[in-house]
Amino acid sequence: MKNTINSSASAEFSEKKNRFSSLCAEDEAALPPESVGIGTYNEKRIHRILKKFVCEDESCHEVKIGRYVADVLKDGQITEIQTAGFTSLNAKIRFYLENTDYNITVIHPMIAEKTIIRTNKDTGELIRTKRSPKHLKPVDALPELLYVSEFLDEPRFEIKFLMIRADEYRYSEKIRYRKKGAYDNDIVPRELIDISTVRSANDIRDLVPSGLRDAPHRAAELSSALGMKGRKLYRALACLTALGILKKIPEGKRGYIYEFCP
């Protein structure tokens, strides 16, 4: 992506990277032992760290704007930190654009690298450590971008993907009321790897794998290329179609094919 910050060449990014790591360490040191493993705490931790990362001044946090509350408001800039889905963002962003003159940035953290650490919750004994094979990339956010796709050419709106390295602690005690194989866990962010910025539909176009640009493809082929299935795949395709990046073409009784629009 053309707006990606190169960490090896940018002193500014190096400073941000060091600051993020310091904030992660400070937050972990302040963590009360009883909060470890609480499901909703994982999301709150990253959210809290990123608010400080954006602005240290806590008077700029959780600022009421009309019927909404902005995560950060400073110097004419609203920053919304979205750690989960974008479904609820549409009405909020629309309100900001229509009723204020503020610039709006949505920050979406993604776990690009993860180490899974299996421990005994009672004793703290280390059982096993391994690197996760899953590596999230900005393209993996396409299903959620559908909900804000209409704003991507607004000059006052942008999205920043923060690619993060984290440790996930999985505890030996199973959670009985969850699906089979689920464990109590705690995600601890460690390092900022990269920042990618989307300011227009053209930036989304750069996310599309180059191999999909040569010929029309059916959904099954796109599923393999994008690494998505089911509802996620069709939301991603709907996003790319809404932005004019893909064209959906009827193909008789067999459904549709998708063609890349140059």
At 6, the pLDDT band (50, 70, 90 cuts) reads very low
Say yes or no: 63 and 154 in one domain: yes
pLDDT of 9 strictly over 70: no
**Of 162, 184, 205, which closes a domain?**
205
Residues 215 and 244 in one domain: yes
Q: What are the pLDDT digits (tens) for 136-191?
A: 899 999 999 999 999 998 999 999 999 999 988 877 655 444 455 545 677 889 99
pLDDT bin (cut points 50, 70, 90) of residue 119 is confident
At residue 195, the pLDDT reads 93
Show the domain range for 123: 11-205
CA distance 208 to 229: 16
The mean per-residue pLDDT over the stretch 111-129 comes to: 82
Asked if the structure places residue 5 within a domain, the reply is no
Is the same domain home to 101 and 215? no
Taking the alpha carbons at both ends of the chain, their separation in whole angstroms is 17
pLDDT of residue 8: 44
Q: Which residue in 142, 128, 116 sits closest to 226, CA to CA?
A: 142
Tally of CA atoms within 13 A in the half-sphere of 46 that contains its CB: 28
Interval 65-88: pLDDT, tens: 999 999 999 999 999 999 888 998
Q: Supply the angle between the helices 11-29 and 41-54 in degrees, to the nearest 10.
A: 140
The mean pLDDT value for 37-57 works out to 77
Distance CA 36, CA 218 (A): 45
Query: What's the number of domains the chain is made of?
Result: 2
- Residue 122 in this model has a pLDDT that exceeds 60: yes
Q: What is the structure's pLDDT at 33?
A: 54
Domain co-membership, 98 together with 137: yes
Q: Average per-residue pLDDT in the chain?
A: 84
75 found inside a domain: yes
Say whether both 179 and 241 belong to one domain: no
Residue 1 belongs to a domain? no
One domain for residues 223 and 171: no
- What is the value of pTM for the model shown? 0.82
**166 and 226 fall within a common domain:** no
Clarify whether residues 155 and 251 are in a common domain: no
Domain annotation covers residue 131: yes
222: domain CATH number is 1.10.10
